[in-house]
Structure 1
């Protein structure tokens, strides 16, 4: 009797659970009907069509666009793009898209940003960027150059390398280019080229807006440059701002000599000796190059200074009481004839419109006074990346090669 009661109770509970499941299913169906009805819930959002920016036309005209429906005024800003001055007003088209067309823009790499009602922003649909010392900008790359485009050749590699600076007591970053095939080798050694950036830039700049890796790839592939390792360190030891804290040149020099060079020589297959070591830099990096190379002339066979020189040399006056001049500080090294014997090339280049033109001229004159054999070239243009890329392209062709007539900026051998 008890067994029959238990089975009946179990049957009743099962039936009740099935009934509850049916009710829940019905409720879900009703909910779905309500959700799908036109009067119930807001319709899915309407997605605006994608914006293309930058758009490069065959004739070199470049159109920039940004969707900013609520903005009152938008400008295109760039210190690199030719002939746009302080910027270009963008016009609002349909669906809240602002656009501006400039050009034709010559082949090369250019930093740019948008100014939205006084706020600087990068191009949200362009993933190419270039870092400076304190920020990053969007990057426009206009093709058409045989020596800095990405060609169908074997390419080298660029690594972001972190090292510990004992002199500064913290971790630091640099970029290192290794030539094509470096990873496949085990015994091959290569010469090393230390390439320094300018005051507003960072260790990323030479490989982004500077196109250094592609310039080297193309030169090596064509046989116009020797395979080499290129080290691009961070030339700032702190956040740089004009008029504050200066350039901290001595701090960087110590970091370079005590930490960067030893790290490179212990982590990469680099050849030793001045015949296999070069150094060059632009603007601030050019001044750092002189500080490093002159005090260690036996260590470098090739020295390049782009749009730079000894800062302040053009404004020095006889009898000026401001402490020893740069020339006086390095007088012993400047007059050390035996130390100069390892120098194979001292190369300067500056634009005729560059604000450091007189600094370059005065520095070259000072070095020649101390019997340095200096090659000096002046080009069109000012303090711009267009010139620095061309200077790198020329300087690199003269490195680590037996060449009595160095290649000049026209591509010919300098007599």
Structure 2
């Protein structure tokens, strides 16, 4: 008769420990948000519009309230995968949501061939507002009103985020610009803006007039008029958009100087609603990864702040 083999006590405990760690690993995976790359046909562009999307753990299409949504814009010659693969957005979002610093939120990381402008190569700004936002808001259970929207970006994406917030303060509750390429009066000679198809005219030359027409300085006065209370009014119809700015102290494009200029211009309009953080480093992902948690924490003091928690 065969006897049942005896399992040593140490071996048995090792099995329990392995099972426990395996369960914990699976639990960590289950708690993570879902990241996927998607696309849809853009009638403005005439071709497919790509984007990467982060959906928080437990994302529920039947939730009683829609999810806050932040649009994250990539930099010059970047793509829709950058924030997820190089910027650590999924890991940062997971950590901040789990810690309770952020509510469960959706992050949309669109792709563009432009500087988020209607430039010489594509109508990126129009495609963002006319095609991407309606697509996201009909496809996913996200906010469709100002209190539940934010916009952020790095470098050229920071340029775009600032412009979007100034042009449409009625649409965004907060904005963040990491090392924004919002150069005044024109980009430095080493900036890729000087050779980017968005700003090259038919002769292949940098279009200074277009740059000045599209840069944030052209939007400041219309923005001020929108967000400043009229005489005898306590509040304006459209509140100012709180703005987070960051830059590396050794940025090769002198981003610290231009970030300070941007802060000063914005503080003249909305004192106390602009924050500037400076980090050691240059125009690199190291700086952007370092400043992303602070940027999101700042934004979510306003995005979704007046909305009841998502749930049954």
> Would the TM-score normalized by the shorter structure come out above 0.5?
yes
Query: Structure 1 pair 328/222, CA: closer, same or farther in 2 (3 Å)?
Result: closer
Q: Equivalents in 2 of 1:264, 1:215: separation in Å?
A: 22
1:22-37 equivalences in 2 (<5 Å) = none
Deviations 1:30-74 (A, max 9, x none): xxxxxxxxxxxxxxxxxxxxxxxxxxxxxxxxxxxxxxxxxxxxx
**Are 1:335 and 2:225 matched, yes or no?**
yes
**Are 1:374 and 2:277 matched, yes or no?**
no
More helix by share: 2
The residue that corresponds to 1:353 in the other structure is: 250
1:142-161 equivalences in 2 (<5 Å) = 154-161=31-38
CA contact (8 A) 1:199 1:283 kept: yes
Mark the structure with the bigger radius of gyration: 1
Which of 91, 94, 113 matches 1:214? 91
TM-score by length of 2: 0.69
What's the offset of the Cα at 1:329? 5.0
Q: Which structure 1 segments of 5+ residues have no match?
A: 1-149, 239-245, 404-415
CA contact (8 A) 2:36 2:53 kept: yes
Q: Which runs of 4+ in 1 moved over 6 A?
A: none
The residue that corresponds to 1:55 in the other structure is: none
Q: Which structure 2 segments of 5+ residues have no match?
A: 1-26, 189-207, 230-235, 304-312
The two structures, once aligned, show a CA RMSD in angstroms of 3.0
Query: Structure 1 pair 217/233, CA: closer, same or farther in 2 (3 Å)?
Result: same
What's the offset of the Cα at 1:401? 3.8
CA contact (8 A) 1:276 1:400 kept: no
Query: Structure 1 pair 342/237, CA: closer, same or farther in 2 (3 Å)?
Result: same
Query: Structure 1 pair 151/272, CA: closer, same or farther in 2 (3 Å)?
Result: same
Whose RCO is larger (CA < 8 A, sep 6+)? 2
1:144-223 equivalences in 2 (<5 Å) = 154-183=31-60, 185=62, 187-223=64-100
The residue that corresponds to 1:399 in the other structure is: 299
What's the offset of the Cα at 1:358? 1.8
What's the offset of the Cα at 1:185? 4.6
Deviations 1:249-305 (A, max 9, x none): 972111100101110111111123222111010000000112211110111111101
Q: Equivalents in 2 of 1:249, 1:228: separation in Å?
A: 32
TM-score by length of 1: 0.53
1:117-128 equivalences in 2 (<5 Å) = none
Which of 123, 144, 166 matches 1:272? 144
More strand by share: 1
Q: Equivalents in 2 of 1:296, 1:328: separation in Å?
A: 13
